[in-house]
Chain A
Amino acid sequence: MSTLGQEFTKGLFKENPTFRLILGMCPTLAITTSAFFGFGMGISVLAVLLGSNIVISAVRNLIPDKVRMPAYILIIAAFVSMTDMLLNAFVPELHKALGIFIPLIVVNCIIMGRAEAFARKNNVIRSILDALGMGVGVTMSLTLVGIIREIFGAGSIFGYNIMGTAFEPMGVLASPPGAFITLGILLGFFNYAFKRLGIE
């Protein structure tokens, strides 16, 4: 049984959902056109993951095994709907930019994956830490991809222009092909980095 601290930190690097588990690719590619959007989506996923992990872990002994998939979907969908409405109320520009990908958090493999692999077998405290670790890991990776695409695609970070007026932005990085290529190269780089650092 790993320590409580390890439950949290494994989601950051060793089992980072984006670069190690290769889950949740759709939002990673779609909304990382700017660092702010990447960060916003990461926080949304964190919120839903936290909520669903807590509830699923709390009621794990009450759900019959045959209906566990629809039950999980229902719980996750409820939290996604709440997050959707909260985002619409408090950060409407983020809500508009994330668009259809907020409801699609329901089918994000990270959330269902953690529910299936962890929350239904562990108590609430561990599930909270697991959700926090994975959520922060996702936020970090989404923000990283967002920062790279924003620097080269628009010359700014979080809206602050840092490249100056002489910089001609690489439009391709802000568009779909750029998303694929950036993520692919980053994935290859992290494969190498993790190997060198000795993380399995």
Chain B
Amino acid sequence: MYLLAMIFVAILSNNIVLSQFLGICPYLGTTKRIETSVGMGLAVIFVMVMSAIVTWVIDLFLLQPFSLEYLRTIVFILVIAGLVQFVEMVLKKTNPALFQALGIYLPLITTNCTILGVALLNVQSEHNIIETVVYSLATGIGFTLAMVIMAGIRERLELANMSNYLKGAAVTLVSAGILSLAFMGFKGMVTL
């Protein structure tokens, strides 16, 4: 039951983009078309779950026993960067089709606050391994959901009549604000 509540909270009431403000840069950058949003979202889910597991294991077996928690930032970001590089190489060899689909987004994701943010949130909230996987997966799905909705809105906005100064990032941010307001309606439905 607790896991279901966690999934609900991660996707809806505490959405990573619309409530926690992580991943705004890709949010503004790749939501011009629905296809690119879906591609980016899938890549993020993939990397997020894997890096969450790896960083959690490293934290448990390497950082905590030797009281090296202050090295978390450095170790986590290096692990994530290395992992993405490794995944890119493996994908290229084993599944060229998937690599073609995800390829361009993988480097974009490395220096992305969502991945590092979720990795840090997992260890700070002291999740166990099951909770880590579920939380990361749900957060990735929430990110993809927010991106696809925004892409749909932006595709429509392109045909709208508006001042030149508001086009681009400005109107996207205001739309995100209204979207965030809508998602606030989910607050209080499930209390963790």
Contacts and interface: CB of A to CB of B under 8 A. Distances in A.
Q: Decide if A and B are genuine partners.
A: yes
Interface size class of A (residues with CB under 8 A): 35 or more
A85 B20 CA distance: 23
A179 B181 CA distance: 11
Interface in A51-79: 69-70, 73-74, 77-78
B165 A78 contact: no
A77 B78 contact: yes
B21 A26 contact: yes
Given A23-B25, A184-B177, 9 more contacts: A77-B73, A77-B74, A77-B77, A100-B117, A172-B181, A176-B180, A188-B171, A189-B165, A192-B165
A103 B116 contact: yes
Contacts of A125: none
A184 B174 contact: yes
Interface string B152-192: 00000000000111100111111111101100100000000
A81 interface: yes
Contact of B173 (A108, A112, A187): A187
A104 B169 CA distance: 22
Contacts of A77: 73-74, 77-78
Nearest to B112: A107
Contacts of A176: 18-19, 21, 177, 180, 184
A22 B180 contact: no
A181 interface: yes
A47 interface: no
Contacts of B173: 180-181, 183-184, 187
15 contacts: A26-B25, A29-B24, A30-B21, A81-B70, A100-B121, A104-B22, A107-B77, A107-B111, A107-B112, A107-B113, A109-B25, A177-B181, A178-B177, A188-B170, A188-B171
A81 B74 contact: yes
B28 A25 contact: yes
A175 interface: yes
Nearest to A111: B111
B36 to A, nearest CB: 18
A83 B70 CA distance: 12
A84 interface: yes
A184 B181 CA distance: 14
A80 interface: yes
B120 interface: yes
Interface in A154-197: 172, 175-181, 183-185, 187-189, 191-192, 195
A106 interface: yes
Interface in A105-134: 106-109, 112
